[in-house]
Structures are given as structure tokens and as C-alpha cells.
Structure 1
Amino acid sequence: MATAPCNPAPRPAADSSTLSERDFARIAGIVSKHTGIKLPASKHLMLEGRLRRRAGLAGFASLDEYCDYLFEEDGLKDEFQHVVDVATTNKTDFFREASHFDYLAGTIIPALLAAQRTIKLWSAASSNGAEAYTIAMVMAELARSQAGLRYAILGTDISSAMIESAHRAIYPRSMLAPVSPQMQRRYAMFDKGVGENGRARIVPELRRKCSFQQLNLMDASYPVDRDVDVIFVRNVLIYFEPEVQDAVVRRLWGHLRPGGHLILGHSESMIGTRQGLPQVASGVFRKDRT
């Protein structure tokens, strides 16, 4: 029977075992119960590849051996967070759905400037931090012409691996492509690598504006302030069942101050309209002041 090595050494990627339908269904059920995220059959190969890599890193000779450890020897207690991490890591980009950042800079923030207080922004499914640092770039640009503009950005995600990545703030050079050349010069430090080997790190000034913490949107309550000005939760609700979508949006809505904005992905706008939230732009909903 397989046992988890105390100090596992990565194994070579020669494993040809596959993830059985039974084990896929087990893992999909665990992930859905814990995170609300659905893993349809179309995700089978994706999950198999990611679990195979995890099995090698954990020192197992094969994916079969790893799954035996998870389900036959109660190893899921030790590997639970790793399983969640590999199953829930989703695509993200800088300036994804750029119109939302235009609306933030052109409409939302100008209306808040008279308040003369710290503006609170929350990226509620921040993945590797690209969205939070995009928000930071937008705010830093505004601060160049608005003396005294103060802001703080929180990024949260269920994946501990993504939170660690966000703290590091190091990205492939190619990932910075959507960022304007001017912003790249101001807010990223590039190494000397070229092509796919090149990397960039977000400058310390922006990293200090962003904090990150692990958070499960399925939790009944969130340890976050209830006077947030802007909440981004984009392109994650589509993975939830409708009743979970509604519950998450209601909880997030409760963390907005009156006049605050909730920003959903363009393909998720119907979730907000279904709940009767006041919509002011595509995917953007504003909480009444009364």
C-alpha cells in the first residue's frame, strides 16, 4: 500500500496511469461540496493532468498510487488543499474585460473623490493576483493627477497556491501584454530573459497597496469589512449552481457601503439582474444609498 513520504522527492513525469471515472466523480463531489464549483465530465483530462503533476511532486510513482493514498488510506486529510488548488485554478489576465476598468476610472472613482477617505476595493476571486494588480495600476494612474487619493485593495481566493503566487507578484513577460507600455514601465520590473523565459514583477509601491488572504466564497460569512466601495467577482460565478450564485452575490452585496458597486463578468450579468440589483453598466451594479 502507498504511503506519503515524509520528505517527498519529485518523481519523473513517466506515469501513464489515468484517473478513473470513479475517482474523478469522488474528487468532483468533494470540490463541489467544499467550493461550489462544478467539475463536468469535460474537465476530466484537465484534472487528470494536474493531479498527475501533484502526485509526482508528492513523491508517488503513479496517479493510481496517489489516488489509492487519497481514498484508501485517508490521505485526503493531508492532501485536501492541494486537491482543491489543482481543481479550482482558473484562467486570469491583466485588464481582462477592460471596459470594467474604464468604468472604474471614469465613473466610479471620480464620484468618490469628494469623500476624502480611503477607497476600499476587493477582488473576491483574485486567482494569481492579476486582477488585484490591474486595479492597483488603475488607481495609481488616477493618483498621479488626484493628490491625496488613498486606496486599499484586498484580493481573496480559495486556492492557497494562488494566494502565494499573488504575494510573489511575478508573472511571465507575455502575461503583461495587455498592460500598456507606459504602465509596464511604471509598474513592472522586468528581468533580462527574453520570450517565454522573460519574467516581470509588480513594483513594491503597488504590492504594498494590495493584501491577499484565503477565502472560500461558499462560507456563510466573510471576514471582510462591510464598507467596501467596489467588489470585483468576475468569471467565477459561472462555475456555480444558480442557488449558490445567488447566495454568494447576496453575501457580497452585504459588504458594500451604500453607493458601492459590485462588478460581475460580462457573461454573469444575468445573475445580478435575476436578483433585481440596480444595473448601471454591463456587469456593474450599484447599491442604493437609501
Structure 2
Amino acid sequence: MADVKVTVLAGGVGGARFVRGLRAALESEGADITVVVNTGDDLWLSGVRLQPDIDSILYALAGVNDAERGWGRAGESERVSAELREWGAGWPWFTLGDLDLGTHLARTGWLRDGLSYTQVAERLGSRWPIGVRLLPMTDTEVDTQVVVEDGSRLHFQEWWTRHRAVLRAVRFENPGIDGATPAPGVVEAITGADVVVLAPSNPVVSIGPILSVPGIRGALGDAARVVGVSPIIGGKVVRGMADACLTAIGVETSADAVARHYGQRADGGLLDTWLVAEEDAALAPGLAAEGWDVRVEPLWMTDLERSATLARAAITD
């Protein structure tokens, strides 16, 4: 698969593990890998700009991530967060590691110097030999807001991290996204790829905001081939509270329901091929009867080798 061009739409830990596996699978073949990353999780906190999904993927590719916690840097200290709590600043339940805070400070300084989010991502990615191009979905700030049952609004990070998605969500919104445009290079990366992969990331708050940026869904319609990897294994989410997100938009927590949520390109949806886990093999005949190109693969990314095997399966026609 020499010189193959692959573009991945991704966010969160699942996206980071998949992209790391993809790089490992193709590292000896001169592949061109672009990752379009969700920025709906972004926020301003204590005067600095945080981009959790960008950083999760960056740290994983650089090999400096905290694999046990699933976020932040390995070998962290938390002296600054402790001091912020003493001052009553920031969110006491949202801990920023000192190394991670260095990234946020660098990003914020560059933004205040006039760089775009795309330029900042490029500069961050140049520190380590990460082997892929990271692109934010847009240079526009479109943070995710969660409307809960009593009508109040929370930033996604407050709903997710502080309340652990226990408050029933009614809907998710990205204020300003209707006026956003894809970041430079995003549309070209999608339409110019040999294959585009929707990573096994949260379909609602990781992949959803990317698809909501005007122009990106249309670009997928012009892509050579679009493959999706189920984030649901055996009827359960792999990590986090994606089931609460799916419930809020009326989608069952199952591999076939998420497939139908994305839809087949032949019927005006997004996907040409859908990968489901071996634990969900019983769902494959039903999807196939609906016209899906559905494939059963081992989806657990418990180590780099398994992640690489899955990534190769996803991009193989």
C-alpha cells in the first residue's frame, strides 16, 4: 500500500489509539496520513485555550501520553492546579497537569500572536516525529454546549467531567458552527484520500461536530471511499459515556444502530463500509440484508499490534 493517502476523522482516546495503530501499520510504506480532529471539546479555562482531542492524539503519537488515565501527559505533576484551587480559579474538578499546562500556555501565546488553530496544530506537531498531519476541523471556536433536562446549559467538559454525564442531556449544540468553515486543507485531505476512516470515536460529540462543519459532509460525498469503525463492542461503549450521548439523540447503543445513524453513501449517508466487532457478528447479516458492506473484525485496541491490525483491516478494500 505504498504512497496510499488516508484521512481519519477522529477525537478522544479511541481516535488516538486508532491513529497510532494506523501509523504503525503503514510506517514502512511511505503513506500520507492526515487526521481531522474534533475541536468541539475545546474551552477557555483560567485564560488559556485547551484542545483536549488535539492534545490526546498528539501525545499518543509522540509517546508521551498517560496511557493509564487515558488523558494528559505521562509523569505529570499537578502543582499549578493545586495553586489555582487555592486562588479559587478555574474548575477545581478539572485538573490540568503541569506538563499539559505548558502545551496550553504555548498554544494560547501563539493564538494571541495571531496564529490560527491550524498553524498552532502544525507547530505543536513539529516538536515530535509524529508521522501524521494533524488538522483541526475548523479554525472557528465552536465549543460544545449540552442542554440538560431542566433547560440549563453546560459546557461539554462540565457535563462530561464534573457530572460524568449523569444529568440527562436533551441535545448538544455547537454555537457558531453554521458560520464555520473547514480548516485549510481539510476538504482537500478528504477528497484527495484513497480512503477516509471515521475512527471509533464518540459518534455524537467527537465525530458529530466534525460532520456539522459546513462543507465536510459534502466532501465525504466526494471521497473515494469512506469506512467507519464501530465504537460499540458487544452492545456497550468501550470507554466513557458515549451511551448517554447516543440516548440523547435517540440512537440505541448498538453497532448496527450507529451504522444506521451514519448511513450508507448509496442512500445519501456517509459510509461505504462498516466494521463491527466479533462480539457483534450476529448483527452483520441484518446490515448486509440492508445493502451494507459490513465486515466483522477484532476491534479491541488493547495494544499497538492489535490497533495496527484493525487499522490495516479498515483501509484494505
TM-score, normalised with respect to structure 2: 0.34
Q: Which has the higher helix share?
A: 1
TM-score, normalised with respect to structure 1: 0.36
Larger radius of gyration between Structure 1 and Structure 2: 1
Greater relative contact order: 1 or 2 (C-alpha under 8 angstroms, separation 6 or more)?
2
